[in-house]
Amino acid sequence: MAATIRIEEPAKAMGASAQFPPNVFAANCPTRRVLDRIGDKWAVLILILLARGTTRFNELRRLVDGISQKMLSQTLKSLERDGLVSRRVIPTVPVAVEYAITPLGRTLHDAVDPLRIWAETHIAAVEAAQARYDGEQRDR
């Protein structure tokens, strides 16, 4: 059974000082930082993978083609700071670190995974539209 997250006045419950009601169109609204995370391809890809199960750092690096070790580390730290991912150090030689999605992270995954499905379903149509547009631009 999935954990229940209470959403009424979440910033107050966490002791945060967010503006209420949030206004994402206001320059100083903290929800923009959350949208930055959602718009980050690496963060989304990592959340999708962690939703499948707890994964070690090096395995994530192998699974996410094109991500550097530095970018993976930075992204995981940001996701951990936002409460979307948890980190566990395993005292082995060498030390191993594994990451898991949190209940809050699961709610974000459930919101962004349909975007992945949409992208996979419609990539051919998007590429065709891009080719048409590019052809029209050359003909101008």
Q: What per-residue confidence (pLDDT) applies to 19? A: 60
Indicate whether this model's pTM tops 0.85.
no
| Whole-number average pLDDT of the chain | 88
pLDDT above 60 (res 15) = no
Whether the bond into 103 is cis, omega within 30 of 0? no
CATH of the domain at 123: 1.10.10.10
pLDDT at 3 over 90: no
Strands across the sheet with 55-56, in order? 55-56, 96-101, 85-90
**pLDDT interval class at 129 (50, 70, 90):** very high
| pLDDT tens-place string over residues 63-94 | 999 999 999 999 999 999 999 999 999 999 99
pLDDT of residue 138: 86
Domain that residue 26 falls in: 15-139
The total domain count for the chain is 1
Mapped onto helix, strand or coil, the DSSP state of residue 50 is helix
Given pLDDT bands bounded at 50, 70 and 90, which one contains residue 11?
very low
In a domain, 90, yes or no: yes
Residue 3 located in a structural domain: no
The whole-number pLDDT of residue 80 equals: 97
- Report if residue 5 sits inside a domain: no
Give the pLDDT of residue 27. Answer: 87
Q: Is there a domain that residue 1 lies in?
A: no
Q: How far apart are CA 62 and CA 7, in angstroms?
A: 35
Give burial (CB, 10 Å; 0-12/13-18/19+) of 121: exposed
